[in-house]
Amino acid sequence: MEFDALLLSRLQFAFTIGFHIIFPAFTIGLASFLAVLEGLWLTTKKPVFRNLYLFWVKIFALSFGMGVVSGVVMSYQFGTNWSVFSAQVGSVIGPLLGYEVLTAFFLEASFLGIMLFGWKKVGEKLHFFSTCTVAVGTLISAFWILAANSWMQTPQGFAHAADGTMIATDFAQVIFNPSLPSRFAHMVLAAFLTTAMVVAGASAFALLTKKAIAESRTALRMSVLMMALVAPLQVVVGHESGVVAHEYQPAKVAAMEGWWETKAQQPTLLFGWPDQDAETTHAAIGIPGMGSWIVAGDADAVVKGLDAFAPEDRPPVWITFWAFRVMVGMGFLMVGLGLWGAAVWLLKRLDTATLYHRALVLAAPAGFIAVLAGWISAEVGRQPWVVYGVLRTADAVSPVPAGSVATSLIFFMVVYAIVFSAGALYILRLISKGPDTDEDPPKQTSEPPGSPLGTGVKSAATKEG
């Protein structure tokens, strides 16, 4: 493997976008969660909702800030590392990224100030309006970014100009390209689940450490409800996204599934070790026919394998195959935790199910892992194309020396390690502290609480004294 400008530029973009996606994946869900909390506070006036809002809004502000900083770096890379890509497709997806800034980012960023500093100043209704505006802004932002990325997966509504660059012939087709609906829904649900897992983990941790009991119980119920309803729905939407990918990007799906041969009865592989050179998947354990049934609705359907594509048109299989399995594994983990939570809730044991609380704390990063793995499988699976079937990644890189890209990559790695580690640690510190509460703090006593032994020791000590 040669570390040329192409590979280094790809690594740099993967590194920076890998950091970046963590924050929007969290803030999209958190903004909606805050809007719900404030709405509940306005209608019920229960202090738990206010306390939860004031707790999570701090974490939202920090995550939003880190998301902005890490996002700006990527915009620069379009110019520095991917200038040919920018020149070729800028007329088509440039406006989509511009709309994201104009219609979504400005909305979020400008109303965030009111959300953070204006509750008393502007009053309850205008503040709630601002929180809802920020929440809607995050969703609009996701829409435009997904529109741009989905166009790169399933391009349409464009033509080549005389100079070879691409120009949009129909912006409606560019925006509402075939993979947008399922991918947008998949991403928004992933963001909601990511937030639900973090809120559930934080609430479970607070319950295990006996902090802010009322707030933690409420937040735990809200996140378990979200998990139990949305995680199974996400499986359905993810399936739909896979069906669309199979129709428009069959090589990607073949790599995700580890299918080398075009045949009927394609299996769903539960485990395997894809070998690109040998064009086989070693130690494959799978369910015959299930793959054909999932993507084509018929176990006997003939489904394309990687042999239908020239070796130079195939994506890297091992990464795509395993990233997909990690995403699906995390998805089913969330389904399981949602159902487990619903079951203990029905048994009225949600507040005391210590084992479940511990599982939630351990699974708190599951949403982030699923989002990262999902994006890796989607983006690596699109290779060797940057715009599927139209522009190769190798033809989109800037004519810059490898040394320059390596230097900036090392710089990013060092700066990100410092800035984002500090940010993440601060967020974890806030989470471990838990929300402020109106409850009385637990009484500090030296005797076992409520036990006859404790009472006896105390009375004896009083008598002696």
Partner 1 sequence: MKPPTIEGPPEDGDPKPPLAKSLLWFAALWVGGVAAVAIAAYSLRALIL
Nearest distance, CB of residue 126 and partner 1, angstroms: 5
SS3 388: coil
Smallest separation (angstroms) from partner 1 to the CB of 236: 38
Contacts 24+ apart (CB under 8 A), 391-397: 391/85, 391/88, 391/89, 391/166, 393/6, 393/10, 394/6, 395/84, 396/82, 396/84, 396/85, 396/88, 397/5, 397/6, 397/9, 397/81, 397/82, 397/84, 397/85
Minimal distance, residue 38 CB to partner 1, in Å = 9
Among 22, 104, 112, 380, binds partner 1 (CB under 8 A): 112
Q: What's the number of CA atoms in the CB half-sphere (13 Å) around residue 55?
A: 26
Restricting to residues 166-195, which ones interact with partner 1 according to CB under 8 A?
Answer: none
User: DSSP secondary-structure letter at 389?
Assistant: T
Of the pair 79, 403, the CB lying nearest partner 1 is at 79
Look at the chain and count its residues: 465
What residues between 371 and 430 interact with partner 1 by CB under 8 A?
A: none
Q: How far is the CB of 444 from partner 1 (least distance, A)?
A: 24
Instruction: Point out which span in 91-99, 117-125, 151-159, 380-388 binds partner 1 (CB under 8 A).
Output: 117-125
Q: Are 375 and 21 in contact (CB under 8 A)?
A: yes
Among the listed ranges 115-123, 245-253, 280-288, 325-333, the one in contact with partner 1 (CB under 8 A) is 115-123
Q: Does 288 bind partner 1 (CB under 8 A)?
A: no
Nearest to 422 by CA among 62, 70, 55: 62
Task: Using alpha carbons, list the distances in angstroms from residue 160 to 79, 164, 178, 306, 436.
Answer: 21, 5, 20, 29, 59
Which one, 58 or 239, has the nearer CB to partner 1?
A: 58
Q: Does residue 41 belong to the site contacting partner 1 (CB under 8 A)?
A: yes
Taking the complex as a whole, how short is the minimal distance between the CB of residue 398 and partner 1, in angstroms? 14
- Residue 24 near residue 134, CB atoms below 8 Å: no
Among the residue ranges 50-58, 245-253, 333-341, 417-425, the one whose residues contact partner 1 (CB under 8 A)? 50-58
| Binding flag, residue 72, partner 1 (CB under 8 A) | yes
Least distance to partner 1, CB of residue 149, Å = 23
Pick the stretch among 72-80, 86-94, 214-222, 290-298 that binds partner 1 (CB under 8 A). Answer: 72-80
Give, as ranges, the residues between 86 and 105 that touch partner 1 (CB under 8 A).
105
- Is the Cβ of residue 243 or residue 430 nearer to partner 1 in the bound state? 430
Burial of 235 (0-12, 13-18, 19+ CB in 10 A): middle
76 binding partner 1? (CB under 8 A): yes
217 binding partner 1? (CB under 8 A) = no
Q: Which residues contact 146 (CB under 8 A, 6 or more apart)?
A: 180, 183, 184, 187
Hey, what's the torsion of the CAs at 332, 338, 344, 347, to 10 degrees?
-110
Point out which residues bind partner 1 (CB under 8 A): 41, 50, 54, 57-58, 61, 72, 76, 79, 105-106, 109-114, 116-124, 126-127, 130
